[in-house]
Amino acid sequence: MSSANPVNRWGCVRIKIRASLAIAVLLAWAQSGWPAAKPTTVAEIALYQGRDREKVLVDGARKEAQVFFYNSNTWLSTVAEQFEKKYPFIKVSVWRSDSKNIVKRAMEEYASGRFLADVVETTDASLDILKRKGIFQEYYSPDSAAYSDEVKAKGKQGVFYLADREIYIGLGFNTKLVPLAEAPKTYKDLLDPKWKGKMTLTNTDTGIRWIGNAETAMGHDYLDKMSRQEVRVQNIAAAAVAGLIVSGEVPMSPTIFNSNIYTAKETGAPVEWRPLEPVVANIGSSGVTSKSPHPHAALLFLDYLHSREGQRVVMKGGLGSPREDVGSLEQKFKKTYFESRYSLEEFEKKFSEWEDLMKQLFIRKR
């Protein structure tokens, strides 16, 4: 039998060489970070990590032209304004309320199939409820490495939400009505008879967290004594109570965020904020919804919020930054972090108990 034709054998060799070269080119392309196929779905956009990611987001955001931002902190409206200055082709529609109303509204939207929210920002316990309902889309954040794992709700490829602010609940007071030298410095000081009828609590999540912290740190007997101080309870946000302190309608409240007093002082208001240890520390986090109508703009907004630039704007409002390479405003007082102390189920149970305590001791009693 004759041997194989040399020409045919050389042809086979050339085919193998070409195939090897093709494979090598494909591998080099895959490893080079060249632009991948453009993402189209919310999930693809949220997790996209191609080298052209920023261009993809900007181009898509130009077409979307807007982003709906739900949040529970007054100062974040200023962050949104600064974002609009950087990206003038995007309009940020801000809706602010407390975490309970944000959860309610987001869940109602998803139940009805009418999706409005793009980015949701509030406390971690509330965000976890939405995450369990499938309302959050896992997303990639190029700045995630600048944040500790303690402030991330991590997924398989990214995060479901990431911390963007830290604020503290303490004593806010009007210095014309409560002299600085006489203002309470501890929880026990609030029981002084001279403060009877001069305190107000907010009946929102903020006030309920304060009730829980007071009971945990001082005991149930302390709250019984506080209830005899003729404490007024108002069903308005802590920021609104801070506004009443500024106007002098409310002398003082232990359910006030340091950030609200900080911004009021910047305008010359006669107000001060004081930590009553241990201070309740609230972490605010943000994520993109799984049915976001404007996903490119939503991701671009989250990138800005978590960037160094965005976090510096956050800190200008008196908020702390969870970002490790920016650093928070120095706070030397003792803090309570409920989210790290309890699981979601435990926290929900505790929160319900504290809410009942507020009703029994400060609302029904009046």
CA distance 72 to 237: 10
Please, what is the angle between helix 295-306 and helix 308-316, to 10°?
70
CA distance 76 to 253: 23
Chosen CATH of 42-165+283-316 out of 3.40.190.10, 3.40.50.720, 1.20.1740.10, 3.40.50.300: 3.40.190.10
Give the pLDDT mean for 45-66: 97
Which two tokens mark 63?
Answer: 């077409």
**pLDDT tens digits for range 6-17:** 545 555 545 555
pLDDT of residue 26: 43
Question: To which CATH superfamily is domain 167-281+334-363 assigned?
Answer: Periplasmic binding protein-like II (3.40.190.10)
The closest of 160, 162, 127, 123 to 146, measured between CA atoms, is 162
Confidence check: pLDDT of 33 > 60: no
Domains of the chain, by residue range, sit at: 42-165+283-316, 167-281+334-363
Confidence check: pLDDT of 34 > 70: no
**pLDDT tens digits for range 295-313:** 999 999 999 999 999 999 9
Topology agreement, domain 42-165+283-316 and domain 167-281+334-363: yes
CA distance 120 to 259: 20
Mean residue pLDDT across the chain: 89
CA distance 296 to 110: 20
Going by pLDDT thresholds of 50, 70 and 90, the confidence category of residue 96 is very high
Distances (CA, A) of 306 to 24, 65, 313, 323, 338: 38, 21, 10, 8, 23
Annotate 211-252 with DSSP letters as a single string: HHHHHHHH-HHHHHHHHTT--EEESS-HHHHHHHHHHTSS-E
Which residue's entry shows tokens 């974002």? 83
Going by pLDDT thresholds of 50, 70 and 90, the confidence category of residue 115 is very high
**pLDDT tens digits for range 70-88:** 999 888 999 999 999 999 9
**pLDDT tens digits for range 206-259:** 999 999 999 999 999 999 999 999 999 999 999 999 999 999 999 999 999 988
Q: Are 306 and 165 in contact (CB under 8 A)?
A: no
Q: Are 320 and 167 in contact (CB under 8 A)?
A: yes
pLDDT of residue 2: 46
Give the pLDDT mean for 319-329: 77
